[in-house]
């Protein structure tokens, strides 16, 4: 197995890093303080295919492999995790399910504008009583002569404040027996669709996370995604893909925190010596670097497994579990190395510290990842 990145991946990393550092970097701290979604930066990202990373060129996308996709999210998140989150969610759980399960008409109608970044996608599964329990959805869809009428509330929707196209999980209001959710493609122009207030979050503050309300929201029958009753299958497939993106996001945060800590340790002097002369700091830096590299290998293995077309759910869960834990540990050590300055908003490590935690929560908590991994271990053939 060759662990060296190919030329294509090196070019992808270099190109995205230059864009992120030049176009996003100068604004990242202020975007976090203000909780502002930078539409002016998003407009620059569209022509670069960041919103159609794995969409075929024939539909307006970049046609990248999954390792390249992970590199893009990693590099964006290294500079601004909130924008890395926007791109990850849009591509993985907003756009990908339409590309994978949509009809030819749905693909032609929705994918090109989403791939260009003209329409931002979102994924609406979480409710007040249905978070990790994907089967506990209470939002309903009632069949009518014109199509469907959806009623319910979705919470903590990433990209919710700026979304144009959302995938909504809802159960059939007239269904008998155990509920089997469906997935519906809902456009923001549909009657009965509205956006709640933007959440005041600890981190990822430049991403407009919000609740979405569906009050007798009317959509045509052609907006049903996949076959009736296949919502859970679509959701789990989307989440497997999404976990690769969130793992990459967490890795980018960890990489940024490590680089900041290493730079600070070289410059900061105590007892007439730079911090790098002290064994404890050396141990911290060694642990941080080792964890990042180990997590990166798990991430790229999961990405490669996805591209082979086989089952990659366990690998994606392992990557997400590892990368999010690494982000949490590395950002904590980065703050510790900075000492009192690490607790000040004048230094970026404070922001990285706040942003890392949520990577252990969304797209399935760390506990859910362990359930996915364990289920795979128990059920796979000996």
pLDDT in tens, 320-359: 999 999 999 999 999 999 999 999 999 999 999 999 999 9
Instruction: Indicate whether 69 belongs to any domain.
Output: yes
Instruction: Indicate whether 1 belongs to any domain.
Output: no
Active-site choice (187, 350, 363, 367): 363
Q: State yes or no: pLDDT of 114 exceeds 70.
A: yes
Q: Which contiguous run of DSSP H or E holds residue 334? A: helix 313-338
Same structural domain, 116 and 141 = no
Contact predicate 123/158, CB 8 Å: yes
Can you read off the two tokens belonging to residue 67?
């390792």
CA distance 155 to 198: 11
Question: pLDDT category, 303, cuts 50, 70, 90?
Answer: very high
Phi, psi of 381 (to 5 degrees): -65, 145
At 177 the pLDDT is 55
Domain C-terminal end among 120, 141, 173: 120
Mean pLDDT of all residues in 220-234:
93
Domain C-terminal end among 62, 95, 120: 120
Q: Which CATH number characterizes residue 184's domain? A: 2.40.110.10
CA distance 247 to 302: 10
Instruction: Indicate whether 324 belongs to any domain.
Output: yes
Can you read off the two tokens belonging to residue 200?
């005041």
Same structural domain, 210 and 158 = yes
Same structural domain, 65 and 156 = no
Length of the chain: 382
At 21 the pLDDT is 98
At 135 the pLDDT is 73
Same structural domain, 83 and 133 = no
Q: How many domains does the chain have?
A: 3
Question: pLDDT category, 4, cuts 50, 70, 90?
Answer: low
Q: Kindly report the average pLDDT of the chain as a whole number.
A: 94
CA distance 256 to 97: 31
Same structural domain, 306 and 342 = yes
Mean pLDDT of all residues in 30-51:
97
Q: State yes or no: pLDDT of 75 exceeds 70.
A: yes
Contact predicate 371/320, CB 8 Å: no
How distant, in Å, are the alpha carbons of 127, 128, 170, 191 from that of 142? 18, 21, 9, 15
Q: State yes or no: pLDDT of 1 exceeds 60.
A: no
Question: pLDDT category, 3, cuts 50, 70, 90?
Answer: low
Q: Kindly report the number of other CB atoms within 10 A of residue 53's CB atom.
A: 29
pTM score > 0.75 for this model?
A: yes
Same structural domain, 248 and 372 = yes
Same structural domain, 263 and 151 = no
Same structural domain, 223 and 134 = yes
Q: Which CATH number characterizes residue 304's domain? A: 1.20.140.10
Same structural domain, 226 and 278 = no
Question: pLDDT category, 83, cuts 50, 70, 90?
Answer: very high
Instruction: Indicate whether 2 belongs to any domain.
Output: no
Instruction: Indicate whether 58 belongs to any domain.
Output: yes
Residue 363 annotated as catalytic: yes
Q: Give the domain extent around 86.
A: 7-120
Mean pLDDT of all residues in 203-226:
97
Question: pLDDT category, 2, cuts 50, 70, 90?
Answer: low
CA distance 209 to 144: 31
Mean pLDDT of all residues in 77-100:
98
At 380 the pLDDT is 83
At 253 the pLDDT is 98
Same structural domain, 264 and 314 = yes
pLDDT cut 70: percent of the chain above it = 97
Contact predicate 316/241, CB 8 Å: yes
The CA dihedral of 30, 35, 37, 41, to the nearest 10 degrees, is 10
Instruction: Indicate whether 326 belongs to any domain.
Output: yes
């Amino acid at each position: 197995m060759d662990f060296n990145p190919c030329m294509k991946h090196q070019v992808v990393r270099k190109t995205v890093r230059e864009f992120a550092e030049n176009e996003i970097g100068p604004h990242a701290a202020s975007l976090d303080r203000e909780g502002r979604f930078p539409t002016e930066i998003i407009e620059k990202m569209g022509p670069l295919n960041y919103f159609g990373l794995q969409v075929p060129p024939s539909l307006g996308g970049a046609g990248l492999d999954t390792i390249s996709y992970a590199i893009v999210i990693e590099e964006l998140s290294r500079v601004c995790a909130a924008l890395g989150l926007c791109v990850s969610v849009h591509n993985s759980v907003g756009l990908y399910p339409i590309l994978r399960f949509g009809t030819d008409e749905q693909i032609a109608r929705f994918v090109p504008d989403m791939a260009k970044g003209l329409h931002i996608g979102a994924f609406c599964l979480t409710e007040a009583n249905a978070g990790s329990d994907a089967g506990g959805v209470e939002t309903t869809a009632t069949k009518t002569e014109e199509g469907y009428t959806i009623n319910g509330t979705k919470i903590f929707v990433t990209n919710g404040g700026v979304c144009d196209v959302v995938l909504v999980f809802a159960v059939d209001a007239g269904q008998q027996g155990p509920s089997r959710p469906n997935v519906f493609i809902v456009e923001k122009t549909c009657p009965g669709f509205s956006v709640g207030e933007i959440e005041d979050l600890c981190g990822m503050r430049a991403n407009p996370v919000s609740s979405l309300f569906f009050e007798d929201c009317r959509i045509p029958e052609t907006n049903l995604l996949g076959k009736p009753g296949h919502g859970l299958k679509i959701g789990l497939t989307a989440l497997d893909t999404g976990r690769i993106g969130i793992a990459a996001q967490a890795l980018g945060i960890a990489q940024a925190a490590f680089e900041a800590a290493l730079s600070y340790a070289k410059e900061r002097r105590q007892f007439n010596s730079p911090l790098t002369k002290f064994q404890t700091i050396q141990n911290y830096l060694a642990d941080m670097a080792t964890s990042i590299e180990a997590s990166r290998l798990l991430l790229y293995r999961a990405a490669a497994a996805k591209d082979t077309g086989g089952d990659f759910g366990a690998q994606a869960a392992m990557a997400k579990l590892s990368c999010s834990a690494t982000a949490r540990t590395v950002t904590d050590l980065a703050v510790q190395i900075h000492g009192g300055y690490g607790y000040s908003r004048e230094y970026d490590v404070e922001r990285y510290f706040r942003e890392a935690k949520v990577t252990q929560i969304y797209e399935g908590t760390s506990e859910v990842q362990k359930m996915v991994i364990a289920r795979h271990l128990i059920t796979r053939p000996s």
